[in-house]
Amino acid sequence: MDFNYFLQRRQRLQRLLKKQKLPAAILVTNPTNVTYLTGFTGDSTSLLLTAESETLISDSRYTIQLGEECQGIDIAICPPKVARPQFLCDVVNRHKLSDLTVEADHLTKSRFDWIDSQCKTGLVGTVGLTAQLRAIKDKTEIQKIERAIAVCEKAFGVIRAQLTGSQTESQVAHNLEHEIRRFGGTECSFDPIVGVGPRSALPHAVVTDRQIGENPFVLIDWGARVDGYVSDLTRVLITGKISPKMQRIYQVVLKAQLAAIAKIRPGANITDVDSAARKTIGDAGFGKYFGHGLGHGIGLEVHEQPFMSQVGDGQLKSGMVVTVEPGIYLPKIGGVRLEDDVLVTRDGHRVLSSVDKSFDNAFVIIE
């Protein structure tokens, strides 16, 4: 492991603190941010960065793991007879800081207030600071996301080939997880969404015992985690004869997705990308049936910056990896969502996922 790789991230965070005129010392408590900044893959650990020092604050469960994964960083292990929150404040107090930046978007108000009462320093809350750094992926991160996509697509290929009418939503979801692990994934990015017929109109449907053969189409939203990084895809499979209306909806969603992807480039306003898909769906008469945002960033988490929606803030930058997932959802009838993972490149974009989404390819024969 290249420990300088993570050192450079911590240095970028300190430069960002300076740029935003925040205290040079920061207490990082969000576990995902700790992983991003140090390479530590455990939990229950905080990172204290100051202008002169770097300290990971944890407990004895992780002593060996921290030594293996985080060389070059001081490690403070909480003694058995000391409460961990108190130990954290004791470590902070040893540094005699005048002010301390904390992740206000991760701490509850009660925990913030408690730290404020126990730490002999002024607290300055910040929101999304490390997330700004995480939004721009480097070459190594992009490669990990691509591997997560490859595992995701291989698993889907097996599921599609083995699909039968007697399988339930729950069984398909479980089979997806099995195949993801078999192809090298550590786990699913999230609980797979498998919605048959009218249940496909639920954007975050929870799987049930409804059988695939009960309706001629099924929506599957799934993803894989590989080496810490995730993928996130959605496809609709057609297993029988569907109505002309549902066929039209599929084509409208596909057109909307392609229109949005075409807008992706460095400097593009997030709202403009969202509007490209939303206008296509609205012009087709289904605007009120597309209620969620267009997409989101992926990386160490399945939902991270940037968030693309009608109220999204900022512009796309080279190195961002985002989902593009417009949908139309008709209550009691069904829904269509198509989702791909897209990299913002220096001169435009590159679609990282490759599962065919043409209407003709959506058909699958089941027994």
- Cα separation of 127 and 354, whole Å? 35
Residue type, 356: D
Q: Is the pLDDT of residue 63 over 70?
A: yes
User: Where residue 343 falls among pLDDT bands split at 50, 70, 90?
Assistant: very high
Structure tokens at 302: 């399945």
Domain 139-362, classified CATH 3.40.47.10, yes or no: no
Instruction: Give the CATH number of domain 3-134.
Output: 3.40.350.10
pLDDT for the residue numbered 2: 81
Please compute the mean of the pLDDT values over residues 229-238 and round it to a whole number.
98
Sign of the torsion formed by the C-alpha atoms of 307, 192, 345 and 13: positive
pLDDT for the residue numbered 179: 98
For residue 205, what is the DSSP state? P
pLDDT for the residue numbered 367: 85
Q: Is the pLDDT of residue 160 over 80?
A: yes
Helix (H, G, I), strand (E, B) or coil at 106: coil
Please compute the mean of the pLDDT values over residues 169-173 and round it to a whole number.
98
Please compute the mean of the pLDDT values over residues 343-363 and round it to a whole number.
97
Q: Is the pLDDT of residue 1 over 80?
A: no
Which residue in 94, 93, 96, 116 sits closest to 104, CA to CA?
116
Per-residue model confidence as pLDDT tens digits over 73-98: 999 999 999 999 999 999 999 999 99
User: Where residue 341 falls among pLDDT bands split at 50, 70, 90?
Assistant: very high
Structure tokens at 36: 């991003």
C-alpha 199: how far from chain center: 24
Please compute the mean of the pLDDT values over residues 132-151 and round it to a whole number.
98
Please compute the mean of the pLDDT values over residues 245-272 and round it to a whole number.
98
User: Where residue 3 falls among pLDDT bands split at 50, 70, 90?
Assistant: confident
Sign of the torsion formed by the C-alpha atoms of 193, 197, 202 and 208: negative
pLDDT for the residue numbered 324: 98
- Cα separation of 149 and 224, whole Å? 7
- Cα separation of 349 and 271, whole Å? 17
**What are the extents of the domains in the chain?**
3-134, 139-362
Please compute the mean of the pLDDT values over residues 63-79 and round it to a whole number.
96
Per-residue model confidence as pLDDT tens digits over 23-60: 999 999 999 999 999 999 999 999 999 999 999 999 99
Q: Output the pTM of the full model.
A: 0.96
- Cα separation of 307 and 325, whole Å? 12
Structure tokens at 268: 């593009």
For residue 352, what is the DSSP state? -
Per-residue model confidence as pLDDT tens digits over 288-308: 999 999 999 999 999 999 999
CA distances from 48 to 28, 137, 141, 295 (A): 6, 24, 24, 33
Please compute the mean of the pLDDT values over residues 56-70 and round it to a whole number.
96
pLDDT for the residue numbered 230: 98
Report the percentage of the chain scoring pLDDT > 70: 100
Q: Residue 218: phi, psi to the nearest 5? A: -145, 135
**Whether 173 contacts 207, CB under 8 Å:** yes
pLDDT for the residue numbered 61: 96
- Rg of the chain in Å (alpha carbons): 23
